[in-house]
Amino acid sequence: MSTPVPPRRRLRHRIPTSLRQHWKLPVAFIAFVAVVATVFGSTRVRPYITGDATIIASEITRNVTGTVDLFDASVTHELSIEIGDAEYDDMISAFRKNGDKKWINASVVIDGTRIDDAAVRLKGNSTLMGLRGESPSEGFAPPDGMEPPGGMQPPPGMEPPEGMQPPEGMQPPAGFEVPGGFDPGQGPPGMGGTTQVIPDDPTSLPLLISFDENVEGRAYQGMTELSVRPGSPVLNEAMALSLTAETGQPTQRYAYTVYSVNDSSSTTRLVLEHPDAGYADSLFDSDGYLYKADASSRFEYIGDDQSDYADQFTQINATDSGTLQPIIDFLKWLDSADAAEFDAHLADRVDVDSFARYVATQNLLVNTDDMSGPGQNYYLWYDLGTEKLSVISWDLNLAMQGDATVGPHDTLTMGPGGMPGGGDGESGGPRGGNTLKTRFLASDAFASLYEDAYRDLFEQIYGSGRALDVLDEVAASVPTSDGLTAEALQQSVDSMRSWIEQRILSGHDL
């Protein structure tokens, strides 16, 4: 069996654009250091910037190298977090009081390397409802315009259609019977896994780890943040990330870890790199800006004032010279463009080839919460050379666990009542939808581009059998723990294999 390889950037993408274009400066610097070492002999020189190209470009002055590459899937990784009781209670109280996701101090140990003065905070949205003592059937209001049928209150004793499962973490209304001993705190086997949060169990919480919140300029292996995903084994997200990378599209790297908090029993958790400036600078060969769409954003023009968009889009890199103008200019054009203008000139403003592949990939992975989902899960890349936008996938925790029979022109939904099932948006999002995606798919001018991309990607992912091979590779990298037995892992693998096989049979008709 081949060694599983998590999504990773191609080698040339690890060298930032600024360094590739201005290579003479770092070479001269290295030569200077060599001369200094020769002249001053044993005199100690304490470097603040390493020779790692990513570190230079990302303004990281202290890079913790660790003992082993976190994304080496052939190694069993360990991650533990130490949080003081008072700090932990403060974090939970702040969220319960007004939804604040407060940074608190913590110590982190990754593969034996201890990092003190780190910081952690809660991450997510619907996954965290349990911290407020709420369930989706009590105290939760769906986004405006997204009304569950009949209020999601079926008659007492009513059984759901065969095979229907409530979204992850969803507590069914009283009298609603679920088949087969379904645990409402767990997603479909092999998919999302357990995502129910328990205030007294910190290992159940989705967390964001920061290495530079308390120590400016510090990173771990070039990353300033890591995201700890809830649930185990979360094969669906790892598979979606790997398959996106397999098709040459930008994505995030991940690692499975044996995880604990405050010397708790161990569990298995998926850890992802969180996009930062270094991530943005490594994505493409050209210079550009990376923007994150917030969950409360709407992809629509609301005026020329940049401050009106400040709570909708966050610029990730080049923040000192930051500007939201590229997004505003595009939204203004999109708002005024009729069908003929859209068809004729969208390619002047959007990399339509990459966008067709993005949209086709989300369908093939059955991701119900992409750029058009309630979580508004996507990043935008603005290329300064071509002056075009590209869409980058983000937050694939709902991929590869829905209806495996959806076709290339079907509209994906999030499940019963349209309720999000454990999405990881940073705040409560509005109803789903995205004008760019909707108009693109409805346009005859781009139909063949989309369908060609779909056929090509279907063959790469499913037709070639690669998805099944990747499943074996990913499964081999998942460590067992106190919270994940080998039997439970195998059940998840078998369930995922069945889903993929069904997708192979029914997901490619055009």
505 CB contacts (<8 Å, ≥6 apart)? none
Average pLDDT over residues 457-461: 96
Average pLDDT taken over every residue of the chain: 80
Positions of E strands within 94-181 = 104-110, 113-122
Whole-number pLDDT of residue 38:
41
47 or 364, which is more confident: 364
Average pLDDT over residues 442-451: 98
Query: Which run of H or E residues covers position 91?
Result: helix 85-98
**Does 223 map to a domain?**
no
Average pLDDT over residues 349-373: 96
Whole-number pLDDT of residue 509:
67
Whole-number pLDDT of residue 431:
58
CB 323 within 8 A of CB 346: no
Cα–Cα distance between 313 and 307 in angstroms, integer?
A: 10
- Return the bridge partners of 30, or none: none
The 10s digit of each residue's pLDDT in 419-441 is 433 334 444 344 568 999 999 99
The per-residue b/e assignment along 281-319, b for 16 or more CB within 10 angstroms, e otherwise, is bbbbeebbbbbbbbbebbbebeeeeeeebeebbbbbbbe
Whole-number pLDDT of residue 129:
77
**Does 70 map to a domain?**
no
134 or 268, which is more confident: 268
The per-residue b/e assignment along 99-110, b for 16 or more CB within 10 angstroms, e otherwise, is eebebbebebbb
Q: Is the model's pLDDT at 187 over the cut of 50? A: no
Which amino acid makes up residue 191? Answer: M
**Does 184 map to a domain?**
no
DSSP 397: T
Cα–Cα distance between 255 and 477 in angstroms, integer?
A: 8
- Closest C-alpha to 123, from 225, 180, 206: 206
Tally the domains of the chain.
2
Lowest mean pLDDT among 47-51, 223-227, 232-236: 47-51
**Does 346 map to a domain?**
yes
Cα–Cα distance between 17 and 23 in angstroms, integer?
A: 10
pLDDT > 90 in the chain, percent: 63
Lowest mean pLDDT among 51-60, 333-342, 346-355: 51-60
- Closest C-alpha to 509, from 371, 377, 364, 391: 364
Whole-number pLDDT of residue 7:
59
CA end-to-end span of the chain, whole Å? 34
The 10s digit of each residue's pLDDT in 120-157 is 999 987 778 778 765 443 333 444 344 443 344 444 44
Residue range(s) defining the domain that contains residue 466: 286-506
- Closest C-alpha to 319, from 276, 264, 348: 276
Q: Is the model's pLDDT at 273 over the cut of 50? A: yes
- Closest C-alpha to 101, from 12, 207, 259, 176: 207
Q: Is the model's pLDDT at 461 over the cut of 90? A: yes
Q: Longest C-alpha distance within the chain, in Å? A: 85
The 10s digit of each residue's pLDDT in 479-496 is 999 999 999 999 999 999
Tokens standing for residue 17: 């654009």
Backbone angles phi, psi at 94, to 5 degrees: -60, -40
Q: Is the model's pLDDT at 235 over the cut of 60? A: yes
- Closest C-alpha to 99, from 296, 364, 285: 296
Q: Is the model's pLDDT at 58 over the cut of 90? A: no
Query: Which run of H or E residues covers position 271?
Result: strand 267-273
- Number of residues written out for the chain: 510
Q: How many CB atoms lie within 10 A of CB 376?
A: 29
Whole-number pLDDT of residue 9:
53
Backbone angles phi, psi at 491, to 5 degrees: -60, -40
Lowest mean pLDDT among 24-28, 43-47, 87-91, 377-381: 43-47
CB 389 within 8 A of CB 280: no
338 or 32, which is more confident: 338
Cα–Cα distance between 495 and 507 in angstroms, integer?
A: 17
**Does 175 map to a domain?**
no
Whole-number pLDDT of residue 181:
31
Instruction: Give the β-pairing of 225-228 and 267-273.
Output: antiparallel
Whole-number pLDDT of residue 236:
97
**Edge-first strand listing for the sheet containing 313-315:** 313-315, 288-293, 378-383, 388-393
Cα–Cα distance between 162 and 182 in angstroms, integer?
A: 13
Average pLDDT over residues 245-268: 97
Average pLDDT over residues 104-117: 98
Helix, strand, or coil (residue 465): coil
Whole-number pLDDT of residue 128:
83
**Does 380 map to a domain?**
yes
Cα–Cα distance between 232 and 246 in angstroms, integer?
A: 23
pLDDT > 70 in the chain, percent: 72
- Closest C-alpha to 6, from 242, 227, 229, 220: 242
**Does 256 map to a domain?**
no
**Does 133 map to a domain?**
no
